[in-house]
């Protein structure tokens, strides 16, 4: 990258970290009124509707070979993780979800090596091991500071695996398309699925204006969808296009810090195990993302 492009890359990285680091607290606020399924679906529906005009104008850019990959990107990069994070945050603090999200670069490295012949040197491998040790610490660090297995944390781990698949698909299978087309069309393909689920399989419509706090919660999830999914994914996909999947996924260095700050503001308590796990994960991501042997 030249100097101008490098500055753009780092600028996009910081903006994305601020947006996505704040998404966990927005999920938490939305869950005060709406179920996890409703929050996950609402997030996708709001992003889908916001980008619908852009999607309709992007059809002419798409070739037949792109459609299967775009459907995959829609499911693994947006729809499924939206539900996984919402379900997980019914049982784990928003700050812990933000910390676990930092596993994305490690899965990106592993999948890049397994599926796309990316080289993994010893330092990167050590980073992967360290990161997953941190993941294990967080999974067994209870919300009250006691040691206990929390299966809901594994849902976030699964979501990060899906994110890493998405990263590699965009970089290696959709190189011909721009970020706006990828984002809008992938959401266009999964938006109707989320809409049908929301309207016919949840009690969402019966809560608006009836349940106390329904409008602020709806605002939180709409902001999450428009800013945290639609706009952020365009920025994210653009970052993938101008850098590497591993550099792009390193946005998760900063996301945990933003998520933890929001959690502390909202009176969440973190214990020594949580901080230790975060240190292990971020150190592991640093080693995995560092150039050289």
- Between 53 and 60, the more confident residue is 53
pLDDT single digits (tens) 154-197: 999 999 999 989 988 888 888 888 888 999 999 999 999 999 99
Average pLDDT in the 279-290 region?
Answer: 83
Report the C-alpha gap between 46 and 190 in whole angstroms: 12
Q: Give, in order, the Cα–Cα distances in Å from 123 to each of 82, 176, 243, 284, 287.
A: 32, 32, 21, 9, 6
Q: What is the CA radius of gyration of the chain?
A: 18
pLDDT single digits (tens) 224-256: 999 998 998 888 878 877 887 667 767 777 888
- Between 50 and 7, the more confident residue is 50
Residue ranges covered by each domain of the chain: 3-289
Q: Give Cβ neighbours of residue 149 (< 8 Å, ≥ 6 apart).
A: 139, 140
H helices of 80-178, where? 80-88, 94-100, 104-116, 122-140, 151-173
Q: Given this model, what pLDDT does residue 245 score?
A: 64
Report the C-alpha gap between 273 and 131 in whole angstroms: 14
Q: Given this model, what pLDDT does residue 243 score?
A: 81
Percent of the chain with pLDDT over 90: 51
Averaged pLDDT of the chain: 88
Lowest mean pLDDT among 92-96, 139-143, 218-222, 265-269: 139-143
**Residue 103: pLDDT over 90:** no
Q: Is the dihedral of CA 243, 229, 74, 86 positive or negative?
A: positive
H helices of the chain, where? 3-30, 36-58, 64-74, 80-88, 94-100, 104-116, 122-140, 151-173, 179-200, 214-223, 232-242, 245-249, 255-265, 272-289
Q: Given this model, what pLDDT does residue 293 score?
A: 47
pLDDT-derived band at 212, boundaries 50, 70, 90: very high
pLDDT-derived band at 147, boundaries 50, 70, 90: low
72 neighbors 167 (Cβ within 8 angstroms): no
């Amino acid at each position: 990258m030249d100097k101008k492009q490098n500055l753009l890359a780092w600028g996009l990285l910081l903006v994305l970290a601020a947006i996505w680091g704040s998404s966990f607290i927005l999920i938490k606020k939305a869950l005060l009124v709406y179920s996890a399924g409703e929050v996950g679906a609402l997030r996708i529906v709001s992003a889908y509707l916001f980008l619908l005009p852009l999607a309709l104008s992007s059809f002419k850019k798409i070739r037949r070979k792109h459609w299967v990959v775009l459907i995959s990107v829609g499911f693994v990069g947006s729809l499924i993780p939206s539900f996984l994070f919402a379900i997980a945050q019914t049982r784990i603090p928003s700050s812990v979800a933000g910390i676990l999200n930092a596993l994305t670069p490690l899965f990106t490295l592993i999948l890049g090596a397994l599926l796309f012949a990316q080289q993994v040197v010893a330092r990167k491998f050590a980073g992967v091991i360290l990161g997953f040790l941190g993941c294990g610490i967080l999974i067994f660090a209870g919300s009250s500071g006691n040691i206990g297995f929390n299966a809901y944390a594994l849902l976030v781990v699964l979501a990060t695996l899906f994110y890493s698949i998405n990263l590699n698909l965009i970089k290696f299978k959709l190189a011909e398309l721009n970020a706006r087309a990828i984002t809008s069309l992938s959401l266009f393909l999964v938006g109707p699925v989320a809409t049908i689920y929301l309207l016919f399989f949840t009690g969402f419509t019966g809560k608006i204006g009836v349940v106390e706090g329904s409008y602020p919660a709806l605002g939180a999830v709409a902001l999450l969808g428009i800013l945290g999914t639609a706009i952020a994914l365009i920025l994210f996909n653009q970052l993938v296009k101008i850098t590497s999947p591993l550099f792009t996924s390193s946005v998760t260095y900063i996301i945990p810090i933003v998520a933890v700050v929001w959690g502390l503001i909202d009176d969440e308590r973190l214990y020594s195990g949580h901080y230790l796990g975060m240190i292990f994960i971020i150190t592991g991501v640093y080693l995995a993302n560092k150039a050289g042997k």
